[in-house]
Amino acid sequence: MTETKIKNDRAAWIQGGQAQCSSPPPPVARPFRLILLGAPGVGKGTQADLLCQILGACHLSTGDIFRAAKSLSQEARSAGLNEALAYMSQGRLVPDATVLQVVRERVRCLKCACGFLLDGFPRTVAQAEALEEILDRENLPLSGVLNFELPIQEIVDRLSGRRTCSGCKAVYHLVSRPPLVKDVCDQCGAALYQREDDQPASIRVRMNAYQESTLPLIQFYRGRGLLIPIKADGAPSVIFQRAMAALNGSAKLEKQKIL
Ligand code: AP5
């Protein structure tokens, strides 16, 4: 069992280019390479944080790359990133070509010896096919695709109550995971904010985009024998236990027992 004591800043993934992570997780003998699938707000980021601590893999979220780009000046961003931010603020999917360019620039993160948890990518069949091509070329087989399932109304409640730390990006919820002091991060003391795309109008657009573009990925990965369904109701710790049990019970992951 590998436990990550110091949180990796994921600089190589977030900034791209020549950036180096401040504390990359140590290599593991059998790295997990997982995709976290599920509707916006189902809890993928929350579960990624928990899974990373046990699996030693790195949390690679495409949404985090775009949100980090927001804090750069407009001139410092590429035309593609400026375009991505415009789509994102409306809750629409960023065009495949832009997303794929951003991911291809970060292929070294997919090759990382600690493995990865992809969160928010792929989101369309075109992205899934492109990822498959990259992973095949680099000889990096996927361990599985965890698909988190929850009724839409519960997902909307999770999104509307989400608050994110402006400093360390820790995620809270007004009801299920409130901070100790209102609007202040427990971990670093920075202010909490509500994501622009968590407003009701954007949530509706994101749910539609999920249903039209991302749902077909369930069939895509089921067809490849990689899909691992996880019920996402209940507390984060309960869902995490289900995910761990499913990983341990997966025939495909026979050589990667964790607990
Ligand atoms: P992205 O950042 O990927 O957002 P998302 O998929 O919409 O997912 P979220 O981060 O909103 O939710 P989550 O599932 O991680 O839930 P969380 O753990 O935070 O993408 C944002 C945008 O970027 C997209 O809309 C698009 O524009 C663009 N984009 C990114 N990647 C793209 C791609 N590949 N292609 C095209 N466009 C792309 O939890 C949510 C809340 O619920 C939190 O408050 C949390 O505390 C709470 N919670 C979590 N678990 C539980 C629980 N078990 N019980 C109660 N509350 C819970």
Tell me the CA–centroid distance for residue 255 and ligand 1, in Å. Answer: 31
Specify the ligand 1 atom closest to the Cα of 161: 44
- Best mutation site among 176, 183, 230, 238 for ligand 1 pocket (most ligand atoms within 8 Å of CB): 176
Cβ of 210 below 6 Å from ligand 1 = no
Whether the CB-CB separation of 206 and 214 falls below 8 Å is answered with: no
Kindly state the percentage of the chain with pLDDT values over 70.
94
Tell me the CA–centroid distance for residue 170 and ligand 1, in Å. Answer: 13
Q: What pLDDT band is residue 158 in, cutting at 50, 70 and 90? A: very high
> What is the structure's pLDDT at 105?
94
| Cα–Cα dist 52/60, whole Å | 10
Q: Among all residues, which ones are annotated catalytic?
A: 44, 123, 162, 195, 206
| Residue among 245, 227, 188 nearest 38 (CA) | 227
Cβ of 94 below 6 Å from ligand 1 = yes
Question: For residue 253, how many other CB atoms are within 10 A of its CB?
Answer: 18
CA-nearest residue for atom 8, ligand 1, is 40
Residue 252 reports pLDDT greater than 80: no
101-134 pLDDT, tens digit each: 999 999 999 999 999 999 999 999 999 999 999 9
Could you tell me whether strands 171-173 and 162-165 are parallel, antiparallel, or unpaired per DSSP bridges? antiparallel
Task: Report, as an integer, the average pLDDT of 70-77.
Answer: 84
Cβ of 242 below 6 Å from ligand 1 = no
Q: What pLDDT band is residue 145 in, cutting at 50, 70 and 90? A: very high
Tell me the CA–centroid distance for residue 197 and ligand 1, in Å. Answer: 10
Tell me the CA–centroid distance for residue 46 and ligand 1, in Å. Answer: 9
221-230 pLDDT, tens digit each: 999 999 999 9
Cβ of 114 below 6 Å from ligand 1 = no
> What is the structure's pLDDT at 74?
80
| Residue among 26, 32, 254, 1 nearest 142 (CA) | 32
pTM: 0.93
Residue 7 reports pLDDT greater than 90: no
Cβ of 171 below 6 Å from ligand 1 = yes
Q: DSSP secondary-structure letter at 212?
A: I
> What are the phi and psi torsion angles at 180 (to 5°)?
-65, -40
Cβ of 174 below 6 Å from ligand 1 = no
Which residue pairs from 241-249 have beta carbons closer than 8 angstroms and sit at least 24 positions apart in sequence? 243/47, 243/51, 243/146, 244/51, 244/54, 246/146, 247/32, 247/143, 247/144, 247/146
Specify the ligand 1 atom closest to the Cα of 38: 14
Cβ of 40 below 6 Å from ligand 1 = yes
Report the mean per-residue pLDDT for the chain. Answer: 92
